[in-house]
Amino acid sequence: MRTLIAVALSATMLASCGRSQTKSLDITLVTKALDSEWWQRVKAGAENAAKAHPGVRLAVLAPERELNIDQQVSILEDQITKRVGALAVAPAGAAEVIPVLERAHALGIPVIIFDTDINWPLKVSYVGGNNRRAGQMAGQYIVKLLGGKGKVAVIRGIMGVFTHEERVAGFQDAIRGSAGIDCVSVQPGNSERTLGMSVMENLLTRYPDLRAVFATNDQMALGAVESVAARNLTGKVALVGIDATREAVRAVAAGRLAGDIAMYPERLGGNAVEAAFKAARGEPVEKRIDVGEALVTRENAQDFLQ
């Protein structure tokens, strides 16, 4: 009888151990939107990373547009109420999001910040590229294309968003040393293609001798491409974007975009999930995880399409 009881207890303990090893872990990745190829590729990278960890249940959520900061806040509040195991967040607005993240931290939910850094000391880690360095790369390339002379402009993302502030600052750093480069305008395009097209149209009207434009993401850059093409100015006004979506890289290969800066979205989403997974398990996570960036030109565009 004692032998039977001992066997039963051993079986129960083994079953219990098996359940603990396969216990599910809920991780939520919250992006700024899912309405572009860039964010869909971030999502794909996150999902691939989650598949490597049996038991991880990943939810990828986002507001309808990057401008919908209140909607992102509501998504975060809902996930905190559900007591998820960890959050990975690309903040649409620091001032609005930080108070919500404070509540997550108070409840013991670790928070990874990715894509857009924020000044919040309680984040476990920041995952992303160096946006200032990316802007510098774009600026240096435009200076080279123009031979150090000419009027340039910037179409930038939402005012106040750190990612775009850094990209603009990096671009301005790069052109500051070229006395012949004149930055005539910095206009918001809110990371939207249609607005980028409209802003580019206005710039071409106001500055008919404009020689180059830097757009701080590919959606705006691709909108600008349409305006330039409509005026038969393709190749005469150099356009450089950031993100290196497949559509943008194809535009580089075709000569419609002069260049682009790759920011590796799959790597971004994957590393954010990996960091969230480790944080949820109490494992050490690096305070900054740099995914890198690279210049895409017509010469190497095919490499990025592969």
pLDDT in tens, 159-200: 988 999 999 999 999 999 899 999 999 999 999 999 999 999
> Would you call 266 exposed, middle or buried from its count of C-beta atoms within 10 A (0-12, 13-18, 19+)?
middle
| pLDDT score of 296 | 98
214 phi/psi in degrees, rounded to 5: -105, 125
Whether CATH 3.40.50.1460 fits 131-262: no
Residue 180 half-sphere exposure toward CB, CA atoms < 13 A: 10
User: Tens digits of per-residue pLDDT, 56-101?
Assistant: 999 999 999 998 999 999 999 999 999 999 999 999 989 999 999 9
Distance CA 265, CA 279 (A): 21
| pLDDT score of 16 | 39
Residue with tokens 């899912």: 34
Question: Which residues of the chain are modeled with pLDDT < 50?
Answer: 1-22
> Which residue intervals of the chain bear CATH 3.40.50.2300?
2-128+265-291, 131-262
Tokens describing residue 80: 């905190």
The continuous run of DSSP H or E covering 202 comes out as helix 193-206
Whether CATH 3.40.30.160 fits 2-128+265-291: no
